[in-house]
Structure 1
């Protein structure tokens, strides 16, 4: 075991030192308003159809088929984020899931043909295009012989389209584990892009030539045809407390690890660590209030001093007979910024039809 751990850590180190680029940031936004309301600190206790995203090992807790839907808007409704997932238990030890994410900006004005060869402005030459990111993920989870231990893996295909200008294909793998002790403590580890996810781009040379001729020399360099997404780790622990049978309090704590140096609260040349804390107060497994704190950053001020900022989140949920509706107020940014997003999600357990 020590030998395998050493090899794995060495490979991760080599990937992170040799490659400095990253992509597919839309896959870090998150799914499920219930999780977003807890600042994404769910890697240890996720146990439904959305586990395919957060930690596929949690899929083994499914008792019936489940369907999940999510919609949210960003940047004053300019960008839309949509998600759909379906999960199915195969038996009492294994389960599978399929999910699709789309993050896109539609109806963008293409003004590269606004001025014709004679220098005349013709608004009829203005067209619309969209830029969209897609991720299709297949998940598989299975219980291990050790009581309380399960594992899961994701295989994902990434498709990115920028109108007629460029498009790319990518492929990557994720892996996760969960462990529950006899006294109800839960632990989880999610390793994203363990093989380093590659995106291979292709470009329309004629379209790029039009752009380059529009404003020569200003941001007109052709982008590279290969991007990578370096591995990331999410490590978490959680426990649910029950009070007087009807009331519950779920507490969770996660550490998000990126193998790069940035503005996270803990940052070195090898890796940066960002904590997240989440709470969920429940009443009779019917109504849920949620809160979370994450994205702790050391922000550099004008006077070269650093201020610690964080991103709070709030959430509300209702569950009745297999139907769960959740709302999250998140992406607030920090204590002083006014940016926010309203996120809604729906989860349906197929037991409602039986």
Structure 2
């Protein structure tokens, strides 16, 4: 749930909290769903870690009336065809490769979003209810549930947004297959002697954003956006304290006749301790392209999951379709 969706937003380093206004608002800030003029559907696919992990997303959103809207989305992040070697050695101590099997581990998130305009002009709010499902082959699985809440405000072509993720704290409760666990409990002497914890929590996170779109000679546009991503604990973020840590992000989108888009962004500023105990500040650059024609938008982003030295770049593709195109 921290990676993000939509290649357009990812190409701008996730600076979408204030400016999001389409089907993908269900993830970035559900308040943005109120700006939908008609139903939309979105799809995204990405491969991470040299195609080891697959990340997929589908979403649908539609206005309810002139003041409210709803959306639903499904995210899957998974690694498939993992070798299960827990039974590689038989009871006689012989290695038998026929005893190797395959399994998958995957995280799923289903989200229902609702948004509504407030009586105060320019203000809208939105909420998410999300169900988290996590599966590690036949070894363990869990269910979780949580809420997000967001608001947006527009004034004089400026956009402001605030998003609180896991506002009530998201809980995941694990069910561990004890029969399978016992097969590996004594594999390493002195380790894996006790069952892992069967519950985990995700504490709230706050995102604050602002954005403004500039028009030049009618044909050219520039969208500038900034985010401050806040976690209420000490981390390696560039601004960090016991109370809160802040990771800033900046994004730009250059558009031509609302047809072709070029995007760039930078974020994930981290203070990293080197092997010689010195400290280095790293960041994550992203770039992207987009093409929009008659209600169909195709976007591409090239993102870097790590810092400049690891260069773990990922190619992300997404599609957004305005369903009014088919009715027309």
Q: Same fold (TM over 0.5)?
A: yes
Q: Who is 2:198 aligned against?
A: 225
Q: Could you tell me which of 286, 305, 316 is aligned with 1:343?
A: 316
Matched residue of 1:28: which SS? coil
Superposed, which structure 2 residues align to 1:8-87 within 5 Å?
27-87=1-61
How far has the Cα of 1:216 moved from its partner? 3.0
Q: Who is 1:105 aligned against?
A: 79
How far has the Cα of 1:237 moved from its partner? 0.3
- Cα deviation code 1:252-286 (max 9, x no counterpart): 01000001101101100011000000000000000
Q: Who is 1:245 aligned against?
A: 218
Distance, in Å, in 2 between the alignment partners of 1:207 and 1:52 is 38
- Cα deviation code 1:209-266 (max 9, x no counterpart): 1111322334564220010000000000000000000000000010000011011011
Q: Who is 2:235 aligned against?
A: 262
- Cα deviation code 1:146-198 (max 9, x no counterpart): 001000000000000000100000000000000000x1000000000000000
Distance, in Å, in 2 between the alignment partners of 1:126 and 1:335 is 38
Query: Could you state the TM-score of these two structures normalised by the residue count of structure 2?
Result: 0.98
Q: Who is 1:124 aligned against?
A: 98
Distance, in Å, in 2 between the alignment partners of 1:332 and 1:112 is 31
Structure 1 gap ranges (5+): 1-26
How far has the Cα of 1:351 moved from its partner? 1.6
How far has the Cα of 1:331 moved from its partner? 1.9
Q: Who is 2:299 aligned against?
A: 326
Distance, in Å, in 2 between the alignment partners of 1:85 and 1:93 is 20
**Larger helix share, 1 or 2:** 1
Distance, in Å, in 2 between the alignment partners of 1:112 and 1:216 is 15
Q: Who is 1:153 aligned against?
A: 127
Matched residue of 2:9: which SS? helix
Query: Could you state the TM-score of these two structures normalised by the residue count of structure 1?
Result: 0.91
Q: Give yes or no for contact 2:20–2:28 (8 Å, CA) kept in 1.
A: yes
After the TM superposition, which parts of structure 1 deviate over 4 Å for at least 4 consecutive aligned residues?
none
The alignment covers a number of residue pairs equal to 327
Q: Return 214-223 or 52-61, whichever deviates more.
A: 214-223
How far has the Cα of 1:305 moved from its partner? 1.9
Matched residue of 1:214: which SS? coil
Tell me the C-alpha RMSD between the 2 structures: 1.0
**Larger strand share, 1 or 2:** 2
Structure 2 gap ranges (5+): none
